[in-house]
Amino acid sequence: MSASTARRPGAKAASPSGGVDPLSANGRHDYRIELRWTGAAGGFRSYEDFDRTHRIAAPGKPSLTTSSDPAFLGVPELWNPEDMLVAALSSCHMLSYLACCARARIEVLDYSDEARGTMVEDGKGGGRFTEVVLEPRVVIADAVRLDHARRLHGTAHRVCFIANSVNFDVIHNPEVVAR
């Protein structure tokens, strides 16, 4: 088990064409999105009245229609910022882990995760995440490499850009088996 509260600046350098340069020479990577909310078309007068639905887009990628958590009067069927934060941590850990395994020449056959996050309201209209728990289940090809494959979750956690950018614990409880 591991937890991280380290912070690391990260960003993607814009290429002359306005896109993103994935091979930035200086190690800086900048990310850009556009958010559009059009829910005020009919106006609103109270917290309960306004539409929380909005669209998020990034250059060259499909847009997402998102909302707030249903606890805050959002649309339950849509992704919300809290879901996306947990998903970002899970996805980044997986990609970091797969990269570590590739470098160690460990063949990964399958990877899944059932991540969960805990956010606590502060009673003043705000709140914060207190932890995210990742439960990755990994299948590798070679049983001889199981211990190494398990240890690589710690390495993946230490190099995960997103985990290094949050101020709460990111715990990983991996299960690694061989087939």
Find all residues with CB under 8 Å of 52, minimum gap 6, and list them: 39, 67, 68, 72, 73, 74, 75
**Domain spans, the chain:** 81-179
Least confident of 3-12, 47-56, 99-108: 3-12
Task: Provide the CATH topology of domain 81-179.
Answer: GMP Synthetase; Chain A, domain 3 (3.30.300)
Q: What is the pLDDT of residues 125-154, one digit of tens each?
A: 999 999 999 999 999 999 999 999 999 999
**Structure token digits, residue 142:** 């070679």
Q: What is the pLDDT of residues 156-167, one digit of tens each?
A: 999 999 999 999
pLDDT bin (cut points 50, 70, 90) of residue 23 is low
pTM assigned to the model: 0.84
